[in-house]
Structure 1
Amino acid sequence: MNKIYSLILMFFIFSFSWSQDQLNVIDAITHKNKVVFTCENKSKISLEFLDSKNIKFWFSPNGEFVRNNESFAVINAVFDENYTINVNESSSVYEVFTEDLRVMVHKSPFKIQIFNKYQRLILGDTVEQPYVVDGTDIKTSKVLRQDEHFFGLGEKTGTLDRRGKSYTMWNSDKPCYSEKEDPLYKSIPFFMSSYNYGIFFDNTYKTQFDFGKDSTDSFSFSSPDGPFIYYFFYGKDYKEIIKSYTKLTGKPIMPPKWAFGWAQSRGLLTNETLTRDIAQEYRERNIPCDIIYQDIGWVEGLQNFEWAKEKYKNPKKMLSDLADTGFKVIVSQDPVVSQATTKQWEEADAKGLFATDIRTGESYDMPWPWGGNAGVVDFTNPKTAAWWGDLQQIPINDGVKGFWTDMGEPAWSNEESTDRLNMKHHLGMHDEIHNVYGLTWDKVVTEQFEKHNPNQRVFQMTRAAYSGIQRYAFGWSGDSGNGEDVTDGWANLANQIPLGLSAGLGLIPFWTTDISGYCGEITDYPEFAELYVRWLQFGIFNPLSRAHHEGNNAVEPWLFGKQAEKIAKASIELKYQLQPYLYSYARQSYDTGIPIMRALVLEYPKDENTFNIDDQFMFGEYLLIAPVVEEGAKTRSVYLPKGEWIDYNNPATTYNGGTTIKYPVTLETIPMFVKAGSIIPKSPIVPYTGALKNAPVILEIFPSNNMNSFELYEDDGETNNYKNDEFALTKIEAENAPSILKVDIDVPQQNEFKTEIRNYLLKIHTTSKPKRVEINSNQIKPVSPSKISENLNTNFKESNYFFDEKNQLLMIRLPDTKLRTEITIFN
């Protein structure tokens, strides 16, 4: 009898497993741009065509398309409101043809295949178990091609190419993380394939991604709970895919212009005297700097936004005095209120603004790294926003310019901290809210800032994130570095490059590493100097550049010796010189989502050599940067993609691309290469952004047979008027013939924003002394080297040139008339 029962039980188990593995479609209903397929077990799959290239998939095991919360990431799921589809049915398949895709839905067993219009398979379900349901857990498996590569998932360690690896989405506080550690602080469930598609998995739970680690024939993604919704994006290249993802989840806000300058911080930079001393030292040493941070110790109580009285004698005057010399101050926020901060804690507790403990119904008692046990502020509660906004406005009214939101995972809530799963937020239990907790916080911070400070551009840099974070904040990579031996952090530095590039691919274009690494006690500054310099040389090409270290470990450039200071100063000055170039690409990031720091595969998607390059990147479209990340390096291997490349440090040297070179380096060297034919807009070196009024626009030009153009973007740098397209855009073009070089500066497109009165200074790299130089067909005269740069920001009537034979550089000065101007050089 027991044997019979066992056989019956085995039959039912087999039948249940089979029903999950073998889905069979029995019906399809179409309405406009959506088709819903029903299977024998009543599960349903919805395909909603946003347009001809982008599709929303929703798999529902119980046949109900409902979700606990609306998407935290998606703000625009309607790409083409008039888009409609036709579904063709045959005996075995349903087919949907669009202008770009052919989607086949097989009836028995159910599977989906997406082909392009040339019948090439783009994405296909596996034959076996394309969807597996185990309770609330759902997993989908897709066909993995032998030559397929994956990029994305935001800020993840390791190689840019994700193939052969698996990843977890669970925002985690991982101080001093290794180059192999996962998960980290941010969860961006968006990736792209070398087969010209991208996937965004719109699920906030602890999702998993396996790109062929468990199987060489398939890759998968899964979730333990929540709606199983994912978006498919098809594009001719990665840039087009990113644009579609940006359209779905929102444009990244632009930082204030000064945010692209240099920033100084440290863990115990939390008092007025030290802040003033650092600011004064920067100005006396003529090292450019815009921002000084104050870490969490600036507050009287965690987190009441009141200045610590014993540390700040007169914070308002401090902020005013610093502003007079060009400094902006950013202060830290934590998302909790310590029970020791009695007044604020009792107020929030009484108003129900903390996450609660499901076991007791009381405010959850959260251990916190400092300040004692605390309440976790529930930013999903609509009542929280105004309360928090009033508090954070206190230091803004004093003169603070913005915030960095720290510990928003929330901290001490990693995978092993299972007690946190007892937290209940207004919008759901913690397993659903955990990955978006930082996002909901940053949303409140930005929206409340804009409410209290109308049309003022927000500065907010965050550590924890989820898809959609770009609408509210910028990012930094958390607590990097070697905590055991600060001087042995070379692998940590090297890992910051692919980590930052992957952040950019995940729509976090405005990003920084902690320059010097956050972790480790600095006991021997001369010994640490080389690593500090190399970290800084990489860090200046982060769109945002912040030097930061834990505790009272100071990382100001002058502390590492005269040589290190000299190199650091020159590197920081280079960042300021490149501001017009950088800021123009910042606008492009806002418009398209394309990052400024670009993985080579983003610019050269057909070059398979770029798939495995993790240690160099494009800075914008025209500059290639190959930071030195090896101790004692004498040479640096650099891969140059197809084309002609010019050594930025020695423009007389050129290379043919499609090859790897050995580039000689000293400690002073940042290997930089510029595409031949490029036009790089630059500015004079200034102590801080905006310090020089009527500053000239410097156009550095690298002539070749194939000249590029550049569109110089400018706006007021402070307000949100850029969102209304109030800016100036000036197109600069060049044409190089055997005996003539022409440079055209077009009439600026100016919409409610006017550029300053100023000069242009062209710096053209050429071996030929010109026979004649004309501006709008009028010949101009040569002058001495001192005359060419004399009173550039006050005299707007001179047009002349100077040829520097030693440096093979032709300099041409002319006023910016705001009219179309043609410069002709006869050789």
Structure 2
Amino acid sequence: MKPLIRFQYLLTLFLLATVASAQDFEKAGSCFSYETHGNKVVFTCENNVQVEVEQITSGILKIWYDQDHFQRNNESFAVIKAGDSNQKINLSEQPASYEIYTGELIVRIQKSPFQIRIFDKWQKLLMEDYQDRGFVADSAKMTSYKTFKPGERIYGLGEKNGSINRVGSRFRMWNSEKPCYQANEDPLYKSIPFFMSSEGYGIFFDNTYKTEYDFGVESDQYYSFSAPGGEMMYYFIYGPTLKQQISRYTELTGRPIMPPSWAFGFAQCRGLLTNETLSREIAAGYRQRRIPCDIIYQDIGWTQHLQDFEWRDGRYDDPENMLADLEADGFKVIVSQDPVISQANKKQWQEADSLGYFTTDVRTGKSYDMPWPWGGNCGVVDFTNPEVADWWGAYQQKALDAGVRGFWTDMGEPAWSNEESTDRLFQQHHLGMHDEIHNVYGHTWDEVVTEQFNKRNPNTRVFQMTRSAFAGMQRFTFGWSGDAGNGNEVTDGWDQLAAQIPLMMSSGMGLIPFWSCDISGYCGDIDDYDAMSELYVRWLQFGAFNPLSRIHHEGNNAVEPWLFGAEAEAINKKTIEMKYQLFPYIYSYSRQAYDTGWPLARALVLEYPNDEETFNLNSQFLFGEKLLVAPVVEEGAAIKRVYLPKGTWFDFNQPRDRYEGGQWIDYPVELETIPLFVKQGSIIPQMPVMQFIGERPSYPLLLEVFPAGINKKASFDIYEDDGETNNYKSDVFVMRNVRCVTKRSGMEISYKEVASTGFQAQKRNLVYRIHMNKKPASVLLGEQKLKTFKIKKDEEILPENIEKAAWSWDEGAGTCFIRVPDNRRNEKITIEN
């Protein structure tokens, strides 16, 4: 379909909401021939419909319905994995059907009417077209209908509001500027057209237009996905588990980049944090109060003009000196980017206009005149034009050369381009009209930002966080959830806080494993800090268990954690310190995210797929695999209703309290309480509290052991790399395994290197804190019987120096401490009853 024709009918769809009559429908009808081409087969059907089935791997199939000889305007913006064209597809013909065998899947295709049914190799039906409606086209859209199986659940679609189980909901993909969005508002900022079924498969709908999804609203017999333009092309991704589906989607669209290690510390921002004096004051405020912090952001007003990457006159006396001073004190500075050039920025605007670097208006042939929330009307930089990349990279490098450590790409929808903004559809991009490019506009920008960063800063790990994105974003950037909160009355933002929990879980399942919200809620003026105090504390307690943690609010509303009263400050400090203590645990799971795509913040259904209580569980999540977090999101709460899956669970705050799983509990809470549980048979590696990540490179490790039952083991793989370079992509790291095997006679603990490519890891003294029912009779290191020591009152449990191995017993806590100096020997510890 030609771009102008496609643009015209989408514009008609927006303006007139045309609904085609039933007699306008076209279907595939009957299939009357086929041809094979290597790993592909093309079926020719009625109504000039052809269907291409391509085997990408034994568990991933590409299915493409077309009426125009399989032509597309642009190659996929998301998919990076192609099938092997030298491989011959395994197809056999039966009188009434065709069958394709992949090794993992059996695809049965009915000839008349054309219908695709996909089974696993054990003949279990996974997915089927609903009757003859696998492909239905009319003048407004193309739709594929799939049969809903009884009890089938749908997850995914990335950063979308509502329950994690999408059944009973409709969604649209149209990246939109939605300040202060409601708890069920759709669409939002990102478009990730990948969803997963509890029946063992996922679907990635590879279409950048305004796609729509109906999961059982129209009928409980089927669900559907549709598009007004582009191609009816989707990938069938076999699991069968949800985690396996995520891994294969990762294989298809790319691994998520790992953030620098310091990105897992806390970050501070506000809308008018755009000057040197305030930046220095905030940094000093953190250090003076001994509250950890790693990152200070500069929001949109840091530039002289949009987007010249020049520091604004009068706001920064000596930006390079400021950046150097902050870096010396452990702070990294991240600055915002907008994807536009202000017309007031005459020199750069004329430069870009003369080079053809802006989107154009098809009505005039001139650069599109975009109203912008800040800086007046602008030109929209066309990042689909390959010539733009080096030009933009040279500009952004100015900030990096000055000492800036990364970017957050804001307003990339581009802003004020919501569904009602139909004038934006007159934009022509280098690669197509705006109806096709809109949802990938931010994606193409993020790709340029990261690739230019990598080109000009070789082997340095990029930090880039984005608001607007498309599938495959994980290869370039991280994500945050945009402008949440209650803009009318900031203290009434409890519903918006609660809604961030399923939003985060769905984001993780859509391959945004490194995600953040704006802690405090972005929207609303804070006039009464005492009134805001409880909500702020609860938002920060949730935000500490975001993979990335950023405190941010609009305008000049200060939201530093010490501003909400002495009680709140003490609680906030303790909460932030907890995240820093968990850094070795968090960083180990960040490597797992890179390897597998599995998110750090996980819906419980990912780990407990057969537990019905997890199917629609929106109020709690797993942080990694071992920790269960149930944030308090109700004002004045005295209890938190928590579901614990099967097994025994320790209260992480009070480990002597244990609960049997498979039940809901009423957990008592105070303002300082974060309901946090750890499953029996877990080991949680931790480090001392630091003011910033890397402050003490050779920190000792605290290995907190929650022993498994008799004849079972607790185990954890602790990952470590340099935290700054891209060498992790070449597997330059060290992995150490700590294991505790419980026996009737006691326990055996081992700590050893299990994987390394020559990475020179820091020397680390070890402190084991083992939760036990009674005092050990003795503790041995190898064959050596260890002496005991007493922990003095207020003594640091992770001392700087450990000269000799020894052990101690804390009767009140029911914990055995074992201190071992790092001598790089893999000696076994034996605890005898």
TM-score by length of 1: 0.96
Instruction: Please say if residues 172 and 411 of structure 1, whose CA atoms lie closer than 8 Å, have aligned partners that are also in contact.
Output: yes
Partner of 1:301: 305
| SS of structure 1 residue aligned to 2:664 | strand
Distance 1:380 1:21 in 2: 34
Distance 1:53 1:395 in 2: 45
Q: Does residue 54 of structure 1 match 2:46?
A: no
Give CA deviations for 1:672-700 in whole Å, capped at 9, x if unaligned: 11010100000000010011132101100
Alignment of 1:669-680 (within 5 A): 669-680=673-684
Distance 1:186 1:514 in 2: 16
Structure 1 residue corresponding to 2:335, chosen from 327, 331, 336: 331
Distance 2:270 2:47 in 1: 59
Partner of 2:831: 825
Distance 1:159 1:232 in 2: 23
Give CA deviations for 1:374-406 in whole Å, capped at 9, x if unaligned: 000000011111111010011111111000000
Q: Does residue 260 of structure 1 match 2:264?
A: yes
Distance 1:167 1:297 in 2: 34
Give CA deviations for 1:207-226 in whole Å, capped at 9, x if unaligned: 01110111111100011111
Partner of 1:183: 187
Partner of 2:12: none
Distance 1:154 1:631 in 2: 28
Partner of 2:429: 425
Partner of 1:402: 406
Q: Does residue 103 of structure 1 match 2:110?
A: no
Distance 2:391 2:620 in 1: 45
Q: Does residue 763 of structure 1 match 2:754?
A: no
Structure 1 residue runs of 5 or longer lacking an equivalent are 1-13
Distance 1:601 1:102 in 2: 27
Q: Does residue 72 of structure 1 match 2:77?
A: yes
Partner of 2:169: 165
Q: Do the aligned partners of residues 797 and 83 (structure 1) sit closer, same or farther apart at CA in structure 2, a change above 3 Å counting? A: farther
Structure 1 residue corresponding to 2:615, chosen from 588, 604, 611: 611
Instruction: Please say if residues 50 and 83 of structure 1, whose CA atoms lie closer than 8 Å, have aligned partners that are also in contact.
Output: no
Deviation at 1:33, TM superposition (A): 2.1
Deviation at 1:738, TM superposition (A): 2.1
Distance 1:134 1:237 in 2: 35
Distance 2:395 2:106 in 1: 54
Deviation at 1:137, TM superposition (A): 2.3
Distance 1:286 1:86 in 2: 65
Structure 1 residue corresponding to 2:134, chosen from 124, 130, 137: 130
Partner of 1:281: 285
Larger mean Cα displacement after TM superposition, 721-730 or 777-786: 777-786
State the one-letter code of the partner of 1:730. Answer: R
Equivalent pairs, count: 812
Distance 1:19 1:177 in 2: 36
Q: Do the aligned partners of residues 239 and 474 (structure 1) sit closer, same or farther apart at CA in structure 2, a change above 3 Å counting? A: same
Distance 1:87 1:729 in 2: 44
Structure 2 residue corresponding to 1:491, chosen from 492, 495, 500: 495
Instruction: Please say if residues 144 and 217 of structure 1, whose CA atoms lie closer than 8 Å, have aligned partners that are also in contact.
Output: yes
Deviation at 1:792, TM superposition (A): 5.8
Distance 1:711 1:179 in 2: 38
Q: Do the aligned partners of residues 119 and 750 (structure 1) sit closer, same or farther apart at CA in structure 2, a change above 3 Å counting? A: closer
Deviation at 1:790, TM superposition (A): 7.1
Instruction: Please say if residues 96 and 102 of structure 1, whose CA atoms lie closer than 8 Å, have aligned partners that are also in contact.
Output: yes
Larger mean Cα displacement after TM superposition, 773-782 or 528-537: 773-782
Structure 1 residue corresponding to 2:806, chosen from 790, 794, 800: 800
Distance 1:786 1:279 in 2: 34
Deviation at 1:333, TM superposition (A): 0.4
Give CA deviations for 1:777-809 in whole Å, capped at 9, x if unaligned: 211111121499779665353211111112111
Deviation at 1:594, TM superposition (A): 0.4
Partner of 2:17: none
Give CA deviations for 1:536-567 in whole Å, capped at 9, x if unaligned: 00000001000000000011011000111111
Partner of 1:599: 603
Give CA deviations for 1:727-768 in whole Å, capped at 9, x if unaligned: 000011110112311111113522131111220111111132
Distance 2:777 2:133 in 1: 74
State the one-letter code of the partner of 1:112. Answer: I
| SS of structure 2 residue aligned to 1:681 | strand
Partner of 2:728: 722
Partner of 2:591: 587
Distance 1:19 1:457 in 2: 51
Partner of 2:572: 568
Instruction: Please say if residues 205 and 431 of structure 1, whose CA atoms lie closer than 8 Å, have aligned partners that are also in contact.
Output: yes
Deviation at 1:22, TM superposition (A): 5.7
Distance 1:408 1:332 in 2: 11
Structure 2 residue corresponding to 1:144, chosen from 144, 148, 151: 148
State the one-letter code of the partner of 1:50. Answer: I
| SS of structure 2 residue aligned to 1:274 | helix
Alignment of 1:649-660 (within 5 A): 649-660=653-664
Distance 1:535 1:791 in 2: 30
Q: Do the aligned partners of residues 787 and 566 (structure 1) sit closer, same or farther apart at CA in structure 2, a change above 3 Å counting? A: closer
State the one-letter code of the partner of 1:346. Answer: Q
Distance 2:803 2:657 in 1: 36
Structure 2 residue corresponding to 1:536, chosen from 533, 537, 540: 540
State the one-letter code of the partner of 1:68. Answer: N
Distance 1:128 1:489 in 2: 47
Deviation at 1:821, TM superposition (A): 2.2
Distance 1:147 1:572 in 2: 41
Instruction: Please say if residues 89 and 100 of structure 2, whose CA atoms lie closer than 8 Å, have aligned partners that are also in contact.
Output: yes
Distance 1:792 1:649 in 2: 18
Instruction: Please say if residues 648 and 659 of structure 2, whose CA atoms lie closer than 8 Å, have aligned partners that are also in contact.
Output: yes
Q: Does residue 773 of structure 1 match 2:779?
A: yes
Distance 2:773 2:565 in 1: 38
Deviation at 1:818, TM superposition (A): 2.6
Alignment of 1:651-730 (within 5 A): 651-705=655-709, 706-730=712-736
Alignment of 1:156-235 (within 5 A): 156-235=160-239
Partner of 2:751: 745
| SS of structure 1 residue aligned to 2:26 | helix
Instruction: Please say if residues 788 and 800 of structure 1, whose CA atoms lie closer than 8 Å, have aligned partners that are also in contact.
Output: no
Structure 2 residue runs of 5 or longer lacking an equivalent are 1-19
**Alignment root-mean-square deviation, CA:** 1.6
| SS of structure 1 residue aligned to 2:812 | coil
State the one-letter code of the partner of 1:43. Answer: V
Larger mean Cα displacement after TM superposition, 113-122 or 535-544: 113-122
Partner of 1:6: none
Deviation at 1:579, TM superposition (A): 0.3
Distance 2:257 2:463 in 1: 10
